[in-house]
Amino acid sequence: MENLLPHPIPWYIAGPLIGLFVPALLVLANKQLGVSSSFRHMCAAVLPTNVEYFRYNWKAESWQLIFVFGMLVGGFIARQLFSLPEMVGISASTKTDLTTLGMTTFSGLQPAEIFQWHALVTLRGLLLIVFGGFLVGFGTRYSNGCTSGHSIMGMSLLNLGSLIATIGFFMGGLFATYVLLPLIFKL
């Protein structure tokens, strides 16, 4: 497999491939790309309930559940077949910034100081993982879609709401990176 894909696909190839997936999905299947609504479909499928929000024809959107399942399986296969033994390429300035925040492990895709079970029961872990996860979920529903839905699909459809949401995603990311993260890591 190393001969097939010896290195990760560069952003300038992967990005356009993702971008071309959007019109292909529209033209070939008359479907819009989005992942966050699949959680609603899954809940409607497995939870027999009288909640109005889950009473709709989820079977018409079952292709999204298959799409999400395919992403999970594809990610697992990619991890098993194409994982690289060397460290992830992080710039020296980023390593310096992260070291200043207290992160010292750069061997994986996510900092071990945050993404380990024992870190979850700390105040920092609760804020970053639990409260952060809640904010992501709430924001996704409040903005009526996730980053992929708005930034890839909505922007390609010239949707003003998606442009506003995408600007908000970037502003929120910058604020969290430069203001909130240093404050949280001082805890």
Distance of alpha carbon 32 from its chain centroid, rounded? 17
3-state class percentages of the chain: helix first, strand second, coil last, to nearest 5: 70, 0, 30
Tokens found for residue 30: 């008359």
Q: Which pLDDT score is estimated for 84?
A: 64
Do the Cβ atoms of 22 and 126 come closer than 8 Å? no
Cα–Cα distance for residue pair 151/163, rounded to 1 Å: 7
pLDDT tens across the length of the chain (187 residues): 556 666 677 889 888 888 888 888 888 988 887 788 888 888 888 887 788 888 888 888 888 889 889 999 998 988 787 776 666 678 889 888 888 888 887 776 677 777 788 888 888 888 888 898 898 888 888 888 888 788 888 888 888 999 999 999 999 999 998 998 888 888 7
Cα–Cα distance for residue pair 91/31, rounded to 1 Å: 39
- Give the predicted TM-score (pTM) of the model: 0.71
Cα–Cα distance for residue pair 185/40, rounded to 1 Å: 34
Tokens found for residue 159: 């949707």
Q: Which pLDDT score is estimated for 166?
A: 92
Do the Cβ atoms of 64 and 35 come closer than 8 Å? yes
Q: Which pLDDT score is estimated for 89?
A: 74
